[in-house]
Amino acid sequence: MSRETIYEASVDYFLTPIGALLEDESVTEIMVNGFDQIYVERRGKIETTNARFDSPDALISAIHNIAQWVGREIDPERPILDARLPNGSRVNAIIPPSARTGTYLTIRKFSKKAYTMADLVQFDSISPQVCELLDICVRLKKNILISGGTGTGKTTFLGAVSESIPDDERIVVIEDTSELRLPQEHCLYLEAQQGDRQGRGRLTVRQLFINSLRMRPDRIIVGEVRSGEALDLVQSMISGHSGSLSTVHANTARDALIRMETLSLMSDIEIPVYVARAQVASAIDLVVQITRFAEDGSRKITRVTEAFGLDEQNRYQFQDLFVSRLKGKHPDGSLDARLEWTETQPTFASEPFEQGMDARIKLTENLWTR
């Protein structure tokens, strides 16, 4: 029996109290707010459950077991753990004293199926026209930023839109906790490491990103931009590594670029604010906004926005290409929201024809210009 098999069986044993929830495909997130208080998310809605661990010690033991599986540590001096289960599900744990009323464990379940753009169309999360637009933009090597709040499905969408990357390209995927699975064969997956108490062995997303530039990538995908790696990503986008894809926490396209600007300033390289803004404005071509609707729990693309530089007042310039319009509700109670073209063409409207992509234009003829 291999070491990995032993660890997997051990993790399964310690998580027995929530084993049924881990197997339930309708559950997307498990939230343990203490050994005897467990919630789940189903179809975008939070529900309480009757599941519980036997004691606080049983929950702590499960968390220590997960930490051992990924070679990390969690203790009162380092009370936060970011890890993953053997099946790929993402785990976050916080223990006392940082967790004031007990031990908190959150598991973002790993889908056994990597969703495609066709799946998202079927779920009514995106329209076929926007799928075609994004497919062409990925092939044009536009830098695309996927923006949304927590739990909106940014990573799922990032994986789906990445399927448009040609199979003959070398792709480097960088994540804090590995989640993405791409259909292309030539993919390299890099994962940040926490390090021990003295910081030995620690590898940040930023360090991995800098190293990835030496790996001859055709594409770099950063699962989520959270810190100073934003500066390195932005600078790589404007210096020969176009076609990058990433996600960021933001509620609008403007907020997304401002957040990228702010994160760039968090780098240990000191640059003036106006330089950070100018670089972000030059780097990002398209922002795709995702929203989770509390009314029915659905996750939908609500805006596709082109970003194109700065105006005379040094402000970001945008134009919406597609905007979601609520039309009411379907008979089953779900929201009827449709992505509608704003009758605005992107500034790069002629590029698909210049690069011989005529055959890919079937549903979006009006967006492009010969």
CATH code: domain of residue 271: 3.40.50.300
Residues in CB range of 307: below 8 A, 6 or more apart: 253, 257, 281, 284, 285, 286, 287, 316, 317, 318
User: Residues 137, 286: one domain?
Assistant: yes
pLDDT of res. 197: 67
- 242 near 143, Cβ under 8 Å? yes
User: Residues 138, 29: one domain?
Assistant: no
Torsion of Cα atoms, 116 then 121 then 127 then 132, to 10°: 30
Domain count, the chain: 2
d(CA 218, CA 243): 8
User: Residues 224, 177: one domain?
Assistant: yes
User: Residues 41, 139: one domain?
Assistant: no
Amino acid letter, residue 353: F
- 3-class DSSP state for residue 6? helix
User: Residues 54, 172: one domain?
Assistant: no
- The parent domain of residue 11 ranges over 3-108
User: Residues 56, 166: one domain?
Assistant: no
**68-77, 115-124, 150-159, 296-305: which has the minimum mean pLDDT?**
68-77
Cα–Cα nearest to 197, from 104, 79, 65? 79
User: Residues 104, 243: one domain?
Assistant: no
Strand 104-108's sheet: what is its strand order? 45-48, 38-42, 27-32, 104-108, 90-94, 80-84
User: Residues 209, 331: one domain?
Assistant: yes
Which of residues 75, 108, 141 is at a domain's end?
108
Quick: pLDDT tens for 268-277: 888 999 999 9
Phi-psi region of 158 (alpha: psi -120 to 50; beta: other; left: phi over 0): alpha
Q: Which residues pair with 307 in a beta bridge?
A: 318
Burial group, residue 179, by CB count within 10 angstroms (0-12, 13-18, 19+): buried
Question: What would the two tokens of residue 129 be?
Answer: 């026209």
User: Residues 91, 184: one domain?
Assistant: no
Helical axes 273-283 vs 229-237, angle rounded to 10°: 50
d(CA 165, CA 136): 10
Whether 6 shows a pLDDT value over 80: the answer reads: no
CATH of the domain at 29: 3.30.450.90
User: Residues 211, 145: one domain?
Assistant: yes
User: Residues 219, 356: one domain?
Assistant: yes
Whether 1 shows a pLDDT value over 70: the answer reads: no
Overall average pLDDT of the 308-331 stretch: 94
Quick: pLDDT tens for 256-295: 999 999 999 998 888 999 999 999 999 999 999 999 998 8
User: Residues 74, 158: one domain?
Assistant: no
DSSP of 261-303: HHHHHTSSS---HHHHHHHHHHH--EEEEEEE-TTT--EEEEE
d(CA 152, CA 134): 19
Helical axes 229-237 vs 253-265, angle rounded to 10°: 110
Question: What would the two tokens of residue 39 be?
Answer: 């919630």
Overall average pLDDT of the 59-76 stretch: 89
Which of residues 51, 83, 108 is at a domain's end?
108
Which of residues 82, 108, 134 is at a domain's end?
108
Question: What would the two tokens of residue 127 be?
Answer: 């329209």
Q: Please report, for residues 65, 87, 88, 109, the alpha-carbon distance to residue 8 in angstroms, rounded to integers and kept in the order given.
A: 10, 9, 11, 16
Q: Which residues pair with 145 in a beta bridge?
A: 246, 287
d(CA 346, CA 317): 12
Going by pLDDT thresholds of 50, 70 and 90, the confidence category of residue 364 is very high
